[in-house]
Amino acid sequence: MELTHFDIEAMSVKPYKLQLKHPFTNEPLDCFIDVISAKSAKFKRLMLESGKAVKDESDSEELEQKGATLLASLVVGWENIELNGKHLDYSEESAVEIMLNYSWIGDQILVAANDESFFFKDCQTS
């Protein structure tokens, strides 16, 4: 068995293009978010750091910020995202802002980031 066919780290950072769905109707929207896997080293490292920080008895606002930052770390780009009627360019700061203010987007990102079939579909079985 060739182990390089199962390079989970390499596959986990190859973005999946998530098409957002309307939060109430579940209809596809014309906006896309590039998501990496929750199995990526970047996400796992931030998760460990966040866990250590939580032990320091952070207040709820700090915890919310840490959670938004953690979710935003799964985002590496997007298309057709607007805020207040203006095109919103991707940046880590903008991603955190989106996570803080639009939980339905964060929910969809978290589901996608944990669906291994989106990232490891190219894994050979032999």
pLDDT tens per residue, range 21-33: 999 999 999 999 9
* Tokens describing residue 94: 């903008």
Taking the model in full, what pTM does it have?
0.82
Phi-psi region of 88 (alpha: psi -120 to 50; beta: other; left: phi over 0): beta
What is the residue extent of each domain of the chain?
3-119
Could you give the C-alpha distances from 41 to 16, 24, 101, 126, in angstroms and in order?
16, 33, 26, 25
Contacts 24+ apart (CB under 8 A), 62-70: 64/100, 65/96, 65/100, 67/99, 68/96, 68/99, 68/100, 68/106, 69/96, 69/99, 70/43, 70/46
Averaged pLDDT for residues 37-60:
73
pLDDT of residue 54: 59
Averaged pLDDT for residues 68-76:
93
